[in-house]
Amino acid sequence: MSEDDGGCGGAGKSRNSGEYFTPYPDQVLENVLENVLVFLKSRRDRNAVSLVCKSWYRAEAYTRSDLFIGNCYAVAPRRVTDRFKRVRSVSVKGKPRFADFSLLPPDWGAHFRPWVSAMATAYRALEKIYLKRMSITDDDLAVIAHSFPNFKELVLVCCEDFGTSGLAVVVSECRSLRVLELIEDDVSDDEVDWISCFPPEGTTNLESLSFDCVESPINFEALERLVARSPLLKKLRLNRHVSIGQLQRLIFRSPQLTHLGTGSFAPLEIAGQQQVDNREPDYGSAFAACRSIVCLSGFREISPEHLPAIFPVSANLTSLNLSYANIDADQLRPVIRHCHKLQVFWALDSICDEGLQMVADSCKDLRELRIFPIDGSENIEGPVSEVGLLAISIGCRKLQSVLYFCQQMTNAAVIAMSKNCPDLVVFRLCIIDRYRPDHVTGEPMDEGFGAIVKNCKKLTRLAVSGLLTDRAFSYIGQYGKLVRTLSVAFNGESDIGLKYILEGCTNLQKLEIRDSPFGDSALWSGLHHFYNMRFVWMSSCRVTRQGCTNVARQLPRLVVEVFRGDGVEGGERGDFMDTLYMYRSLDGPRTDAPQFVKIL
Amino acid sequence: MMHLKETELCLGLPGGGGCEAETLKVTGKRGFSETVDLMLNLQANDQSSSSTDLMNDKKLQNSSKNNKDVIKPPAKAQVVGWPPVRNHRKNLMAQKSHNEETEKVVAPTSTGGSGAAAFVKVSMDGAPYLRKVDLKVYESYQQLSDALAKMFSSFTMGDYGSQGMIDFMNESKLMDLLNSSEYVPSYEDKDGDWMLVGDVPWQMFVDSCKRLRIMKGSDAIGLAPRAMEKCKSRC
């Protein structure tokens, strides 16, 4: 595009020197536009700009530096590198979210290889890569390390197929590395001491280092030396092989930290013996030295008696993630009652409704709450319930995002939340005991979810659970006009439910459904909308091969994949397709589909 | 409109019915009635041999009342990816709860109140999950025994005799029990000792029991002599 100036030699302009020879008016305009567009960051705005006219399309393409690919199979790498020439940052998302729950067989795809190969030649100035649910190998990491001399940031979320040897290559060769964040990845232990592979001398540029998901032990001395010569380090998230004593040494060395993942938060066991209690250092003093910490996580193997060590920083915390800490309400109390600035709180349901009440009492500024279950079995005594949810809704009026696992719920509590927390953007309620109605009234949970979509006018993400009839879906279709992501599991009565959704939710982008009685006629009713969506996932529903084929025929730009969740070839389970996964694509069906995937 | 009250399993005391407005109280303390495990409602369990059946009954009731094509859920053990918790997190939690050694009685009220409940953790050798029971719900060893049997349906308890207590005075009977492959319940008392359940009168047991563990009779042999001694010193 940049070569295609359309001007004659003499009247053209030199972009590098900025000199002009009687430029054509068009080019002046394009110049001006480019200089303005450099400041435009929002990709949605940029997409709109690119549609105005060809000139604007070119200008926008020339100035877009941040690329976001929401579905790696929606577009081929070559098309991307042909259009955008000066990209500094790339985000690519791969597998659908239900892959996290073992519903997608291994080797399904989402390989980073074709992307990194294309970018290695096209984007030599690339600085940042963000990947989510992609398959990235050690070789791919090596390509990154070798191809981009100015590489600064690597963030991998829920990725797999690489190991510590790939990490070693990245940290040793990317001299400008500022950010290395590994979040919930599956990292194989190649027994490589990658921490020691950072350049040995001088200060580093490191601002953020997260490796809490890496299951292999870490060379602590090397880590300590690294931290000591990283004056810009603000975010440090350790894995569970770092003991509380080692943590203390690290934070003494970097009092400027703002985000800390504490590692195990338990003492080291030396040859099977516990440390003698009366020689245990005062861990609180280390935290007292870190006045800047605002975000705490980790606590992977917490000894609850050490939790008080974080008191000195609790008043400053805006984010606290205790979701790996099996602590009860009594252990939580002394910490949480100081956390007046807390905006993000993740925890296990071990804190019980009582703990949630404490959060409601102390954390008036709370924006995001996530409560995870310790015990995922159904039909057991659940430590949290509608009582906790109600308490939170009353105490935390500014709530924007909720993820709540429980065994039982009532419509009344959900309705109350919809009224008390009108700013909700994300509401994900998981009643683990499937098909469970309101346990007080025996009614389906229709009214509760209906109130959420009706009263929370900013809602963009919704996950439903419990016993639901068609009515619940009619509410969602009627009121959920801003909903972009919808998750349905073991819900629903009949096809009409899905019809309500597909016809009503005009902004729907991502639809994931499992084990619900929706069939071909419901699927057909979404034909008008599927091109506007990122993907549709339906597993263990009632769609047939014929139904899926019909959709595929009607919509040639839609890639319709069918397969079985267990990886067995064929796709059907009984009368119905086991899994249907479909998405729009500009470049036709992918060529890397494994044997068990059939593209209709 | 769904009318499921008849089939609903009420989380109340035996003889009680209440699952009502108290659940909405915002005291942060869960009402006592809510915290009792579904399966321990002894009055509702007469027709069914296990709570799993009840659950399926409830769902079948739902589906028949709906009169629609509700897909019946597969048996719980076969549901892949449920609940939707990332594998990473699930593995860690399973590991942790299995290794967990800290034992605490989790009382729903810690700031006074009538001390209405006496929750203890119950583990069974070989079972992956811990349960909790409130000992105050029961009035005898037999009731506790029935409840535990339902909770851990694969285990059968030994013979408790007419008093509902293990006859510690009869050594041979005791040794038979302990040599069998049947499971026996043991408990940790206030002193931190592990004892065989049934060695003291019921009320004394409720007051001193901190935790329950159901183990194979053959593993419990080591507990017997101490149990007998304590019993003898009390009698």
Residue whose token pair is 């079948």: B60
* Closest CA–CA distance from residue B24 to any residue of chain A (Å): 6
Position A280 scores a pLDDT of: 61
Contact B189, B195 (CB under 8 A): yes
Position A376 scores a pLDDT of: 79
User: Can you give the length of chain B in residues?
Assistant: 235
* Count of the separate structural domains present in chain B: 1
Mean per-residue pLDDT, B37-65: 38
Position A132 scores a pLDDT of: 98
Tell me: pLDDT of B95 over 70.
no
User: In which band, very low, low, confident or very high, does the pLDDT at A406 lie, cut at 50, 70 and 90?
Assistant: very high
Position A476 scores a pLDDT of: 98
Tokens of A290: 């870190």
For residue B140, give its domain range. 127-216
- pLDDT tens figures, A339-361: 999 999 999 999 999 999 999 99
Q: Please report, as a single letter, which amino acid is at residue A241.
A: H
Tell me how many residue pairs between chain A and chain B have CB atoms under 8 A apart. 165
CB contact under 8 A, A443 and B76: no
User: Can you give the length of chain A in residues?
Assistant: 600
Collect all residues of chain B within an 8 Å Cβ-Cβ radius of residue A375: 93, 97, 129-130
Assign residue A586 a region: left if phi > 0, alpha if psi is -120 to 50, beta otherwise? Answer: alpha
Look at residue B14 and tell me if it is in a domain. no
Look at residue B164 and tell me if it is in a domain. yes
Mean per-residue pLDDT, A257-264: 94
CA B212 to chain centre: 9
> Which residues 387-426 of A are in CB contact (within 8 Å) with B?
387, 390-391, 394, 405, 410, 412-413
Name the helix (H) or strand (E) containing A392: helix A386-395
* Closest CA–CA distance from residue A589 to any residue of chain B (Å): 28
Tell me: pLDDT of A524 over 50.
yes
Look at residue B40 and tell me if it is in a domain. no
Position A140 scores a pLDDT of: 97
Helix residue spans in A337-399 (DSSP H): 352-362, 386-395
Position A429 scores a pLDDT of: 98
Report the percent of chain A where pLDDT is more than 70.
94
Position B227 scores a pLDDT of: 58
- pTM of this prediction? 0.73
Closest CA to B198 of B223, B180, B172, B181: B223
* Closest CA–CA distance from residue A199 to any residue of chain B (Å): 31
Q: What is the CATH number of the domain that holds B201?
A: 3.10.20.90
Q: Assess A363–B contact: CB distance below 8 Å, yes or no.
A: no
Nearest to B129 among A358, A375, A514 (CB): A375
- Which is it for strands A208-210 and A162-163: parallel, antiparallel or unpaired? unpaired
Position B171 scores a pLDDT of: 62
Tell me: pLDDT of B201 over 50.
yes
Look at residue B29 and tell me if it is in a domain. no
Position A391 scores a pLDDT of: 97
DSSP bridge partners of A322? A347
Mean per-residue pLDDT, A334-338: 94
Specify the higher pLDDT residue, A83 or B29: A83
Look at residue B37 and tell me if it is in a domain. no
Q: Please report, as a single letter, which amino acid is at residue A92.
A: V
Mean per-residue pLDDT, A423-445: 95
CB contact under 8 A, B70 and A324: no
Distance CA B132, CA B202 (A): 18
Q: Assess A326–B contact: CB distance below 8 Å, yes or no.
A: yes
Q: Assess A324–B contact: CB distance below 8 Å, yes or no.
A: yes
The count of other CB atoms within 10 Å of the CB of residue A446 is: 24
CB contact under 8 A, B4 and A442: yes
Tell me: pLDDT of B69 over 60.
no
CB contact under 8 A, B85 and A390: no
* A511 DSSP 8-state letter: E
> In a 3-state reduction of DSSP, which class is residue B148?
helix
> In a 3-state reduction of DSSP, which class is residue A474?
helix
Look at residue B28 and tell me if it is in a domain. no
CA A579, A583, A589, A593 torsion: positive or negative?
negative
CB contact under 8 A, A517 and B71: yes
Tell me: pLDDT of A565 over 70.
yes
Tokens of A91: 């985000």
Look at residue B16 and tell me if it is in a domain. no
Contact A551, A599 (CB under 8 A): no
Position B99 scores a pLDDT of: 53
Position B198 scores a pLDDT of: 81
User: In which band, very low, low, confident or very high, does the pLDDT at B16 lie, cut at 50, 70 and 90?
Assistant: very low
Specify the higher pLDDT residue, A55 or B51: A55
Name the helix (H) or strand (E) containing A191: none
* Closest CA–CA distance from residue B112 to any residue of chain A (Å): 14
> Which residues 22-81 of A are in CB contact (within 8 Å) with B?
none
Tell me: pLDDT of B45 over 50.
no
Distance CA A63, CA A30 (A): 11
- pLDDT tens figures, A8-39: 444 444 445 555 566 666 777 778 888 888 88
User: In which band, very low, low, confident or very high, does the pLDDT at B223 lie, cut at 50, 70 and 90?
Assistant: confident
